[in-house]
Every structure is written in C-alpha cells, then in structure tokens.
Amino acid sequence: MTAMSTDQTHRLDDLLDGPQGLEQPRRRRRASGDSRGWRSVVGPQGLATLSFAVLILSLPLMMGNRTPMTLTATALWLVIGAAMAWGSTLWPSSQGQPVRPISGPWWAVIAAISTISLLQVLPVEALARAFGPYPEALWTHPEFNPSTWSPNPGATARGWAVFMALAVMAWVGGQLTPRFRGTLWLMISVMALFQALYGLVSHAAGNPSILGIWDRHSTEFVHGTFSNRNLFAGYLSLTWPLVVSVWWIKEVTILKRLPTELRVAGSMISGAVVGAALMGSASRLGAMAGLIGMLSALILWTRYRGVLKGGVVWPVWLAAFAAFLLATWYGLAPITGRLAMTSSVDSMRFEVWAAMLTDIELTHWLLGVGFGGFEAVFKSVQPGHIGGWWDYAHNDLLQWLLELGLIGAMVLLLVLVTLIKHAAMNTERIPLYTGLLGLAVVGLGDFSWHMPGTQIVAALYIGVLMRPASRKKESSQPARSKRRVKRRRRRKEEFG
C-alpha cells in the first residue's frame, strides 16, 4: 500500500509539474534534433551543396567577355568548386550525411578520358605523326615541327580539367538528399530569374555595358550577363521549365510552405519573365529549344497527372500562357523578323558541318583530336569561300565526337542508356528532363555546351537523373480525399 501510494505520489508530482516536467525531455529531444540538423548542414552534403551554390550563382556572371583569359578563369573557378565538392567524399561518414566515394564504373569513364587526353598532350613525335591532324606540308616546313597528338595541347588540358570537374559534380550531385537538392534547384531558379530580369532591364535602358565591366555584344537584343544572346538563350532554355515548376517541387521546403495562391502567382510571373527574356534574345534556335522544352514539360505534366499532385498542372499552363503574352508584347516581333530571314552565317554553318564530315579524315573521327582541337583541325580543311574565324563548330554534338572520337561517343551512349534505365516521372524530374532536351536542341546549332555557367547546371541535372528515382509516388489525391475514401469503406463494412 505504501509503495502504491509512493508511485501515485510520483505520478501526481509529474502531472503537477506538467509543462516543466514534460518540457525537459522535449527540450532535450529538440536540442538533439537541432544538433543533428546542424551536423547535416556542415557535413559532407552541406559542403557539396555550398560549393555548388557558389558556382551556380557566380559562373553566369563571368560570361560577359568570352576570351581565352576569361574562359580559363571560369574553368579554373569551376575546377576549384569541384575540388571542394570532391572533398565531401573524403569526409568521415560518422559526421552528417555521407557522400559515397566515386564508384568503379565512374572511375572507368574518368580513366578512359584521362588516358586519351594524356596521350594527346604528351610531346611524343611518334604519336603526333601517327594520329595528329597535321597536313604533310607542315612536316616539311622548316619553322614548324609538331610534337603532340593534339594540335592545341593547352586547350586539351583545360578541357580535360573541366570534364573531370563536371564528372565529379555530377557524381556528388546525384547523391544529395532531397533537402539539399531542393536548395540547388532554388539557387538555379534564382540565377535564371536574375539573368532574365537583368537582361530585360538592361535592354530597356539601353545600357552599353554588362555589369559596368564588359561592353555589350548588342544593345538591340536581350542577353543578360552572357557575351551574346545565343549563349544566353541556351542557358534559359535549360532552366525555364525548372523556374516554372520549382514552386511545386516538394524538395524545395522554403517554397512548399507558401500558400497555394502565392505559389501560383510566383510560378506564373517567373515563367512569364523568363519566357519574355528568351523571346527578347531573338535567338531563333534558343527560342525554339526553349519552346520545345516547355511544351514537352506541359505534355509530361498533363500526361502523368495521375502520379503528380493535381495542383501542379494548371499553374504551369497559366505560366506558359503568361509567358507567351508577355513575350508577344515585349520581344516576339524581333524574333519573328529574324525567323523570316536567313543570313549568310546560317548557311555557312551547314557548309562548315559538311566540310567537317567530308574533308576530315576518318581516323580523327575514330580516335579524336583532343579537347579544343576543332579550331586547328578545321583551319586545315576550311574551304576558301568560308570566311571568318571558326573557334567552335556551332554544333556541340559534332564537335564532341570529333574531339573525343569513339570514347566520347561511348560516354554519350552510356549516359543516355543510364538516363533511360532510371527514367521516372515526378514533379522534380520532369523539368530536368525537359531542360536537358532544350539544351540538346541548342547544341545542334550552337556551342552552349562549352559555357561553364551552363555546364554546371547540366551536370547537376544529369547527375540526379542518372540515379534511380525514389519509389514513393506522389499522390494525385489530397489527404482529405483519402480520408473520405477510408470513411466510406468503414461505413460499408459496418452496415454491410
């Protein structure tokens, strides 16, 4: 009896102490949860996310002067950021959420690209004579003695470093948890919106410079902080679907907490701004690529509405409609005028591609000429009627195959097969697929694949999409509807 009274007394004391007695363990749990949250933020995935965010927000601002020096500076900045992200794989797994070291197949691709690049830059005359893209006249010239397989070993070394950086970032980015991925999608959308707004405002004000540092390539068109409108349009075509849908991706917790009305307005306004800037660039290929990407996104959102939340689909249609209206008022006239004409530069691109396919030896297509080797190789076969300085082929796919040969083709094939193998439709993945589709279209007639500000976004997209998707499907019914269904089932069971 005494023991019973003692127990009851202790229980009564606990109840009387209520808020204080129960609050202490709750505070301890909250404190331990906060400490775990802080460890995850400063842990390996937090370090990688910080590195990516800095690159995402800074690299597009460095695209204003596309010269060898600035290209080298942006490539170096990209490599430094990738090195920091790679450091997250070396972080002790006991602290925060770990990032697994690079896997064997990934290392095999890196080793293949590294081996061929090393052979191409080694000063071995035998390799230069066997595989180098040099006309016979150069070997007999008294003042020129080729010694490397690659005609531009400096550009090859720089291209290799950039490829390694992008491969590391794709690997690390694919392992980020939804929380950190959502942060990156938000950062990409913020930078895309800044580019669009800055481009529209600068164009309207007739500013002669970019950020007060570089001269604008043209004051007649919108091109943000990029050196020209085509590269700007390539960046927007990659990010436009994400800017519209980021408001509905559940991984972006900051936006997820907003009321539905604000998210609808944000999706519609941001999509309209980016769409207007894209059309205002008057880049025919970029605008077409952006429209193809957005229309593909609309089709996929509508087609898979059974596995997506119902509220996602109609705001996207509103955003597209608003974009077309704003673009019609602001920038559709210039692009329609350019669509109606065909310049000599456009016809020259087809002639350049034809010369590449017919005049460059098959050996170079099979073995490659090294990163950055296109310019020197094309000079040796450039027809006399094609003028100008062609440092890029204006076809990223053809240039990639020429510079990397069969190894480059195998890498592309492996990426494509993996993307198809792990294909899945959800609110997060649809804008990534359609953004890459837009960038692929741009790559058929331009060189946006070579711009670091665009490369990092594409690498993160590919890294995430190459990983298997979560098996948890997004419900097309709200929670309230599910509860109603359960109630009906219970009533049927109770009343027979």
Residues 2-21: tens digit of each pLDDT: 444 444 544 444 444 444 44
Between 60-64, 171-175, 281-285, 340-344, the lowest mean confidence (pLDDT) is in 340-344
Residue 356 lies in a domain: yes
Residues 136-159: tens digit of each pLDDT: 878 887 777 789 999 999 999 999
Query: In total, how many domains does the chain have?
Result: 1
Residue 490 lies in a domain: no
The candidate with the shortest Cα–Cα distance to 257, out of 269, 244, 247, 270, is 247
Residues 464-484: tens digit of each pLDDT: 999 998 765 544 444 444 555
Residue 267 lies in a domain: yes
Residue 309 lies in a domain: yes
Q: Is the dihedral of CA 335, 336, 342, 348 positive or negative?
A: positive
Residue 70 lies in a domain: yes
Count other Cβ atoms within 10 Å, centred on residue 318: 17
pLDDT higher than threshold 60 for residue 341: no
Residue 477 lies in a domain: no
Residue 203 lies in a domain: yes
Q: Which domain holds residue 111?
A: 51-470
| pTM recorded for the entire structure | 0.84
Query: What per-residue confidence (pLDDT) applies to 476?
Result: 40
Residue 277 and residue 286: Cα distance in Å, rounded?
A: 11
The candidate with the shortest Cα–Cα distance to 180, out of 434, 460, 453, 415, is 460
CA 208 to chain CA centroid, nearest Å: 29
pLDDT higher than threshold 90 for residue 265: no
Give mean pLDDT, residues 375-389.
86
Query: What per-residue confidence (pLDDT) applies to 112?
Result: 95
Residue 90, amino acid:
L
Question: Which position has the higher pLDDT, 89 or 52?
Answer: 52
CB 196 within 8 A of CB 277: yes
Please give the C-alpha separations between residue 158 and each of 117, 176, 245, 370, 378, in angstroms, as whole numbers.
Answer: 10, 27, 35, 10, 19
Residue 6 lies in a domain: no
